[in-house]
Amino acid sequence: MAKPYSVLMGKAVRYIARLRGGGSALPGLFVETIDRGFVADALADLPYGVVLISGTNGKTTTTKMVVELLESQGLTVFTNRTGSNFSRGVAAALLGEVSARGKLKADIAVLELDEAHAVHFVDRIPPRYSLLLNVMRDQLDRFGEIDTTAKMLQHIAQATTDTIVVNREDPRLTAVAQTLTGTVRYFGLDDKLLALFPNDDELHGNTKEKTQRPAADVLLQSVGDKATFEIDGKSVSTPLQLQGIYNIFNAAAAIALTRAILGDKLDQPSLIAQLANITPAFGRGEKVMIDGQPCELVLVKNPSGFRLSLRSFDPGGYATMIAINDNYADGRDMSWLWDVDFDSLKTHGVSEVSGIRAYDMALRLQYDDVAVTHVNTDLSRALDNFLKSNQDKPKRIYCTYTAMLALRRELAKRTEVEVVS
């Protein structure tokens, strides 16, 4: 249970910050400054403990899926819903949930954490369960070599007290799993889907001889109008509201983790029924309506994710916009754009390119012979032009993280957008 004085002071700062439109993580930074043990104390008495989800791609969407799957099984779940995946984001989210006496009413905490922050978090609060999604070349200007990221995830896994769920298709993660003494479970892909999900080595031409993969607790067998998973040797098919083949693979991860947590208490039919109802996390395939037409936001932040996004969505009949920023949260090094194949956009072109690195993006498209109609580094003006020029078409915007946040704010001025507090 958290200390009441810390809770009251933190809630006061949270209230003032919200009145002034301040950032959602500021109260968390404050309460951690005055009480370093705040998060650990608040999470100490949860019956199912703490679940930590980390990796390069898919943390936010997978966390949302796991939360909703556990809720479908009757659990009360605490999570850092804002997607602020630093420790202070967890603290800020707790301030909104704990009582004035410091009590958190929840059975389990499911947290997504940035790899570099998770390694410090687990030293103070060892998770009972963890999920390791993947290791890709994302923001290497922050983290250094890709093997450094793998070591961070290894540290998380070694701190986990019960079960670690691992992506068996990522060779760096299977190497991590071999060093662990705890219980390890895997999720994976049917052989015929492997080409859709190249690991980082394959993506950069460093293909190595395939080794024997461990058996998967949950296997994604096929994608299409329905997703088919193999669970306990039996095939289960379900339609999904989540779009994009990467999100469907994340669903396999979410199922595997939920099974590890609940064990024999799991009601699989209700789990699969809930999976069919889950909608995208904000900015991750999120759709809003503008002038009677859908406008979809697709977050991209590394070559693998961008490639999979382009492969997942047919550009036919859609107006396309790309918004690329290079702020700290996006990663400063945008050279990864040259590892993305934009051929799928050739036929229909790109209506608008924007963001701080708009001209770099436009140049990259030019090299792939993709026509660009308009370029403007100002996101607000670019969005206005994009919407006005394509009023009668559905729209899709591929955007980096800070561009996505800015575009959501601009869209909120024009239509109803989910508010994440």
If asked whether residues 209 and 297 sit together in one domain, one would say no
9 and 150 assigned to the same domain: yes
Mean pLDDT of the chain: 88
Confidence tier at 82 by pLDDT (50, 70, 90): low
- Mean pLDDT computed over 32-61: 90
pLDDT tens-digit map of 217-241: 999 999 888 999 999 889 999 998 8
The span from the CA of 355 to the CA of 360, in Å, is: 10
Under 8 Å between Cβ of 162 and 128: yes
Q: Supply the pLDDT for residue 282.
A: 64
pLDDT at 330: 81
**Quick one: pLDDT at residue 374?**
97
Counted domains in the chain: 2
Q: What is the pLDDT of residue 212?
A: 83
What is the structure's pLDDT at 141? 47
Q: Considering the domain boundaries, does residue 253 fall inside one?
A: no
| Same domain as 159, residue 24 | yes
Q: Are 283 and 213 in contact (CB under 8 A)?
A: no
Residue 228 lies in a domain: no
Mean pLDDT confidence for 75-95: 80
59/168 same-domain check: yes
Domain that holds residue 35: 4-187+205-213
Task: Give the E-state strand segments of 129-182 in sequence order.
Answer: 129-132, 163-167
CATH number where 27 lies:
3.40.1190.10
Q: pLDDT higher for 135 or 255?
A: 255
Task: Report the b/e string of 165-186 with b at 16+ CB within 10 A.
Answer: bbbbbbbbbbebbeeeeeebbb
Q: 319 and 209: one domain? A: no
Instruction: Please report the pLDDT score of residue 245 as a whole number.
Output: 81
Is 275 part of a structural domain of the chain? Answer: no
Is residue 128 situated within a structural domain?
Answer: yes
Residues 288 and 147 in one domain: no
Give residue 325's pLDDT band: very low, low, confident or very high (50, 70, 90): very high
Same domain flag for 306 and 179: no
What's residue 142's pLDDT?
47
Among the candidates 213, 247, 263, a domain finishes at 213
Q: How confident is the model at residue 26 (pLDDT cuts 50, 70, 90)?
A: confident
pTM of model > 0.85? no
- pLDDT tens for 313-324 read 889 999 999 999
271, amino acid identity: L
Within-domain flag for 229: no
Identify whether residues 144 and 42 lie together within a single domain.
Answer: yes
Pairing between strand 227-231 and 234-238? Answer: antiparallel
Tens of pLDDT, residues 381-394? 999 999 999 999 99
Statement to judge: residues 156 and 298 lie in one domain: no
Percent of the chain scored above 70 by pLDDT? 90
The answer as to whether 129 is a domain residue is yes
Mark whether 167 and 304 lie in a shared domain.
no
209 and 304 fall within a common domain: no
Find the range with the poorest average confidence among 105-109, 150-154, 199-203, 386-390: 199-203
Based on the fold, state whether residues 326 and 209 are members of the same structural domain: no
Q: Describe the strand order of the beta sheet including 108-112 as a list of residue ranges.
A: 77-79, 108-112, 50-54, 129-132, 163-167, 183-189, 218-222, 227-231, 234-238
Neighbours of 20 (CB within 10 A): 8
Q: Is residue 393 part of a domain?
A: yes
The CATH number covering residue 343 comes to 3.90.190.20
User: What is the helix (H) or strand (E) element at residue 79, kind and residue range?
Assistant: strand 77-79
Question: Is residue 220 domain-resident?
Answer: no
Which tens digit of pLDDT belongs to each residue from 272-313? 999 999 987 765 667 888 988 999 999 898 887 898 889 888
231, amino acid identity: I
